[in-house]
Chain A
Amino acid sequence: MVASAICGRGMRRIMARPILIMPVLLMPLIFVLSFTGAFVSLTRVEGYGTDNVFNWMAVYAAMQGAVFAGVGGASTTAEDIENGFFDRLLLTPGSRVPILVGTMAYSALRSTIPTTGVLLVSALGGLRLPGGPLALVTVYVATAGMASAFCLLGLAVVYRFRTMRSMILIQVCGFSSMFLSTGQVPIHFMNGWLHAVARVNPVTNVLRFARQGFLGDLTWTMTWPGLVALGAMVAVAGALAVHQLRRLTA
């Protein structure tokens, strides 16, 4: 009940002020246009995996958008803490966890906006779906999962530092984890430390899972590592957020 009310409050806020959608939507759209435009010739390098740059970059841009959506969801809590609304929420009886779950659900729902925007623009650019409609399902699952994970991580930081400024930490973390993955090129294109980091970066497996339907058929081999990575990220970030929330309310 509390969770759905908080989620609904966030969505109503967006509906009431559509200008709030712009930052969430604008950056991923800039990314998809910039990356596909600037790096179009990468498809001419042998082993890139596709001859259509949108099929590679669209998922990456959508995931970047999801990370922003997640951080944005946590930012609303930072705003609530700064303006005192969060203290009023804490005065309500019952468990505190639904407050956290509601914010996470709001972020996951919010991530559908940039994902849809990126997919529509990419479709205009020539995006193909060799994996069929299920390819779209994997992208939405992956982006909702990423938004949830980064929202929870953001909440852990917000509960700890109680300021909007602290969100810069999560933004840097989100940017870095995306750039240190197979976002723009396949892993065998990388060398040195980047190759080593991208191999152990959970985002790499999430990208493989989300992108598979754009490069070919969907397979279980590509699916389960991505789902496990998403689950682990949400679980770890969730545990951190719950721990910080308990500290805050103790």
Chain B
Amino acid sequence: MTCSPKRQAVASRGPNSEHPTVNAGAATGLRLAGVQTLALTRRSVITEWRQLGNVIPGIVFPLLLAAVYTHQFTRAILLPGFPVVDSFLDFVLPASLVQSVSFGATEAGTELARDIENGFFDRLRASPCTRLPLLLGRLCGAVVVAAAKGILIIAIFLMFGTEIAGGPAAAVVLVTAAVLLVIAIGGLGQVLAILTGSQEAVNATFPLVFTSIFMSSAFFPTNLMSGWFREVAEANPVTWIIDPLRRLILEGWSWSDVGQALAVPLVISAVTVTMAVVALNRKLSSS
């Protein structure tokens, strides 16, 4: 086995290299990185599965909130300016979805911090393992868990009578957007984990995520808010994700809504994951 810097140098020469052995080396390196990512993803999912107690509140709490709000906002949905809905349940689905996946989103960072704290990360570094799977493995684990949660939440809402006007394709967009959001938050958690090496510091991002959801259009439309709170909610990226998802549920399929719902978390994910890769490279090169 070769070490990762060598493998990256080999890969950077590209497919047109004159040396077939180099091409073969790059292909082997990529395959190896895939295998390592898969192994770490599997480890991450098994860890979550063994700690279901940590996953369940992330499903139960958003559902409880949705159930409570549906029964207490029956008069509020009649307010002028509120979107036309049969039930508050239809309105709150994207919020519940985002809330549910956000609960475990920092887990990718927390797990990495735990590995740094208990020395497992150093053992991985000492092994002939490429760098990227160290991050991707945990992110992919969070993605698998988020997708499962998303499907479950949508299924429960459908059971209770929610109609998705955009059809099954819109449901797929809902889950995809939620998964992208998890990558965005998970990437941020990993940056903190690498910089601080502390689970506590990563967990401290949870109130930030929690606040971002509450200070958005998640539970009430922004046109019915006022003052500084409305401005904050309208400038909040969570609103930019939730609003198009909500239109897909209430109004039907629209490519522009699909584009917005996916582009916003995708851009944030690209930024946070890049930051995590840079932080990891700096950490590895400084030690």
- Cβ-based interface call for A192 (8 A): yes
- Tell whether, in the assembled complex, residue B211 and residue A30 are in contact, meaning their CB atoms are under 8 Å apart: yes
Number of A-B residue pairs having CB atoms within 8 Å of each other in the complex: 81
Q: Tell me the nearest residue of chain A to B80, going by C-beta.
A: A44
Within 8 A of A (CB), among B28-82: 53, 57, 60-61, 64-65, 67-68, 71-76, 78-79, 81
Q: Tell me the nearest residue of chain B to A182, going by C-beta.
A: B72
- Cβ-based interface call for B242 (8 A): no
A34/B72 contact (C-beta < 8 A), A41-B225, A45-B79, A168-B53 known: no
- Cβ-based interface call for B103 (8 A): no
Main secondary structure of the interface of A (DSSP, over half): helix
- Cβ-based interface call for A1 (8 A): no
- Cβ-based interface call for B229 (8 A): yes
CB distance from B95 to the nearest CB of A (A): 11
Count class of interface residues, chain B: 20 to 34
Flag the segment in A8-16, A171-179, A217-225 that touches B. A171-179
Question: Residue-by-residue, is A167-204 near B (CB-CB < 8 Å gives 1, otherwise 0)?
Answer: 01000100110011000110001111111000000000
- Cβ-based interface call for A248 (8 A): no
CB distance from B224 to the nearest CB of A (A): 4
Residues of B within 8 A of A250 (CB): none
CB distance from B83 to the nearest CB of A (A): 13
- Cβ-based interface call for A40 (8 A): yes
**Contact with B207, one of A26, A33, A41 (Cβ below 8 angstroms):** A26
- Cβ-based interface call for A242 (8 A): no
Give chain A's interface residues, CB within 8 Å of chain B. Answer: 26-27, 30-31, 33-34, 36-42, 44-45, 165, 168, 172, 175-176, 179-180, 184-185, 189-195
Give chain B's interface residues, CB within 8 Å of chain A. Answer: 53, 57, 60-61, 64-65, 67-68, 71-76, 78-79, 81, 207, 210-211, 214-215, 219-220, 224-230, 232-233
